[in-house]
Amino acid sequence: MRAIVIGGGIGGLATARGLGRQGWDVTVLERQPDLRQIGAGISLWPNAMRALHYLGIGDAVERAGGLVRGGGLRTWDGRWLSRVEVAAPPVMVHRADLHEILLDGLPATVRTGHPVTDVHALGDADLVVGADGIGSVVRAAYAPQVKVRDSGQVSWRAVVDAEVDGSGETMGPRGWRFGYAPTGPGTVYWYAAAPGPLRTGTPAEQLTELGKQLTGWHDPVRRLLAATTPGQLLHHPLLELHPVAPMHFGTRVALVGDAAHAMTPNLGQGACQALEDAVTLALLLPKGAAVMPALQVYDQQRRPRAAAVSRRSRQVGQLAGARGRLTGALARTLLRLTPDRMTAAAAQRVAGWTPDDVRIPSDVRPAAARR
């Protein structure tokens, strides 16, 4: 059975790995001339790590990254609003390392420099998976009602050479936020988020603006900014899809990852959900499975879950990014008064997914397995 996966991002490569393990003949079509990733960190919560272990690469990712310990939420002067030591912390890894691990020994053919413009002209594959990100041509062809929504906030990110003790996020005035975590020994991923439009200044000018906005913030905020060169700085709007797209169309088309449910990064779950998609699809589609019923079940199981995580992520962003003096103070009070165990329980609900949660109805199993 032949599958075409459009897009060689985290979702596409994980899907190719999962289907390849199930005996599919997989081709990945990627528009970029190569699969090199620009550098930033990515947090992989236990749900994502379980998916990566199912795909056979969890150990390699654990070796490449660092465990995020000692997390919590502070105000800019260093006062703790909450301290959460979750039982199973996320792994923070450099995106380039994750990509390299996903590609290593990939049981699929990858064609780079191959942009797909017409999803209806892809020949006679048994399965077509749109893993082509927030601007998906596959989604545009089948679900044009789904729109990209701007959260009204922007982010800056970098991975720099530095040492930090623990990790955490800090809330400041006017809806500014800053977070950091080690990606391994001697390297740290940091991000800042703020309300407002995408800035148009050069990276050097933006670093200067960050320095001004974050004056007086506790250690290591200023130290991490000082360790950042303009070339390391990434700047993006925080976007999401609304509503979450259907994840199955017709007899053979599915969506995974941001193509279906791009979400704001406030929970660090976008790629984690793409990995859940990839493993669910693979579990529902062993070689010989009936494709269309399996895709219907895939949509039934994945769409509500991704929509719930996306909604929660948006709510967290609205609370943490409240820009008014009063709304900001209220948000900080609310967060301070939320018991740490409730915060940990909410994180556990999102990160508790395992491949065992995938329900495989008997009518989608391959005929041989049903007998």
Ligand X SMILES: Cc1cc2nc3c(=O)[nH]c(=O)nc-3n(C[C@H](O)[C@H](O)[C@H](O)COP(=O)(O)OP(=O)(O)OC[C@H]3O[C@@H](n4cnc5c(N)ncnc54)[C@H](O)[C@@H]3O)c2cc1C
Name the site residues for ligand X (rule: CB under 6 A).
6-12, 29-32, 42-43, 115-116, 131-133, 137, 155, 157, 236, 257-259, 265, 268-272, 274
> CB of residue 48 vs ligand X: minimum separation in angstroms?
6
d(CA 364, CA 219) in angstroms, rounded, equals: 54
274 or 331, CB closer to ligand X? 274
Contact assessment for residue 176 and residue 213, using Cβ atoms and an 8 Å cutoff: yes
Q: Length of the chain in residues, anyone?
A: 371
51 or 364, CB closer to ligand X? 51
> CB of residue 360 vs ligand X: minimum separation in angstroms?
23
Contact assessment for residue 89 and residue 65, using Cβ atoms and an 8 Å cutoff: no
Q: Which of 172, 128, 143, 210 is nearest to 325 (CA)?
A: 172
Contact assessment for residue 85 and residue 73, using Cβ atoms and an 8 Å cutoff: no
Element (H, E) at 262: none
> CB of residue 156 vs ligand X: minimum separation in angstroms?
9
d(CA 307, CA 104) in angstroms, rounded, equals: 31
66 or 265, CB closer to ligand X? 265
Contact assessment for residue 92 and residue 185, using Cβ atoms and an 8 Å cutoff: no
Count of other CB atoms within 10 angstroms of residue 346:
15
> CB of residue 368 vs ligand X: minimum separation in angstroms?
32
> CB of residue 40 vs ligand X: minimum separation in angstroms?
7
Contact assessment for residue 92 and residue 179, using Cβ atoms and an 8 Å cutoff: no
43 or 167, CB closer to ligand X? 43
122 or 335, CB closer to ligand X? 122
23 or 115, CB closer to ligand X? 115
> CB of residue 290 vs ligand X: minimum separation in angstroms?
26
Query: Known catalytic residues?
Result: 180
The identity of residue 193, as a single letter, is A
d(CA 2, CA 287) in angstroms, rounded, equals: 10
The CA dihedral of 204, 264, 80, 209, to the nearest 10 degrees, is 20
Strand ranges (E), the chain: 2-6, 25-29, 41-44, 66-67, 71-75, 80-84, 91-94, 109-111, 127-130, 147-161, 168-171, 177-184, 187-195, 234-242, 248-249, 253-255
